[in-house]
């Protein structure tokens, strides 16, 4: 994101059970983290292939997660009061995203990128037009999706992920059109037969596509490095002479794993302010 001039300011090792505590009260579980510029990159796995970037000023601190892994408790249907983080244990946002992504067969990286663009991981965000929560659901959309409390992270991310999946299916898994529809509405996408000529919509799509592709490229690089190390180790083992035979066989090199091509997606990079 920051190009060749990006400066690595700080690298902080963390245990596999560290939590980044956001100012909105929620947490993101991560393996380790690194601060680059004004962003803190939270790595969700040990091999750096899965991560999310959060503005450093949105993080109030870090702490050890001493609790055992456990699934989140479902939202109580009888509750009519807004979610109060201060009176409940902190919600692990990564668990919420992973659960919703699995339910609707989405890539968690994509869902995280949408949340980042929509609300900056603020579960109580409200846009000038009334969109609410992490994935900025309009009241009418939330109602249609069965989301009674748009400020409930589980309900909001679940509803937003379902809506995103429906849009992907509607546009034959054209991510650019689906994201444009998520931002400006399906009617606008169909009216213009593609991304509407709105600066904020084009900037919104470009931002998510750029962030998502960057994560996929990082995953590919990590996979390629792992493959290279495994191949080198296998070649070293195969090249050792047998102790019980005098025949010299040419060592076989390990087979090369196929690389999955990066899903590069084109999007207009015009910038603009959010419309919701």
Spatial contact of 226 and 45, defined as CB atoms under 8 Å apart: no
User: Do 87 and 22 touch, CB atoms closer than 8 A?
Assistant: no
* Pairing between β-strand 32-36 and β-strand 8-12 as defined by DSSP bridges: antiparallel
Q: Is 118 a catalytic residue?
A: yes
DSSP 193: T
Rounded (10°) angle between helices 108-119 and 175-184: 30
- Helix intervals (H) in the chain: 93-103, 108-119, 139-144, 153-170, 175-184, 186-192, 199-238
CA distances for 81 relative to 61, 77, 156, 233, angstroms: 27, 11, 15, 57
Q: Which of 118, 169, 187, 229 is catalytic?
A: 118
Question: Which positions are catalytic?
Answer: 118
């Amino acid at each position: 994101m920051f190009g060749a001039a990006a400066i690595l300011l700080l690298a902080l090792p963390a245990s596999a059970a560290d939590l980044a505590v956001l100012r909105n009260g929620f947490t993101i579980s991560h393996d380790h983290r690194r601060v680059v510029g004004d962003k803190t990159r939270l790595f969700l796995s040990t091999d750096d292939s899965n991560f999310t970037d959060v503005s450093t000023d949105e993080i109030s601190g870090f702490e050890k997660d001493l609790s055992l892994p456990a699934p989140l408790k479902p939202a109580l249907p009888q509750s009519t009061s807004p979610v109060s983080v201060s009176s409940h244990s902190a919600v692990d946002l990564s668990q919420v995203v992973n659960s919703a992504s699995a339910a609707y067969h989405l890539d968690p990286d994509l869902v995280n990128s949408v949340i980042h663009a929509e609300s900056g991981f603020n579960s109580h965000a409200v846009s000038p037009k009334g969109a609410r929560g992490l994935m900025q659901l309009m009241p009418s959309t939330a109602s249609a999706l069965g989301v009674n409390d748009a400020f409930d992270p589980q309900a909001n991310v679940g509803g937003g992920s379902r809506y995103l999946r429906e849009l992907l299916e509607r546009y034959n898994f054209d991510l650019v059109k689906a994201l444009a529809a998520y931002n400006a509405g399906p009617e606008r996408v169909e009216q213009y037969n593609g991304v509407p000529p709105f600066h904020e919509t084009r900037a919104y799509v470009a931002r998510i596509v750029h962030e998502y592709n960057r994560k996929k490229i990082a995953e590919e690089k990590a996979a390629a490095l792992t493959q290279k190390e495994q191949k080198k180790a296998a070649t070293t083992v195969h090249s050792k002479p047998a102790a019980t035979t005098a025949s010299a066989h040419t060592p076989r090199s390990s087979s090369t794993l196929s690389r999955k091509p990066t899903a590069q997606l084109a999007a207009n990079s015009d910038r603009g302010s959010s419309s919701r």
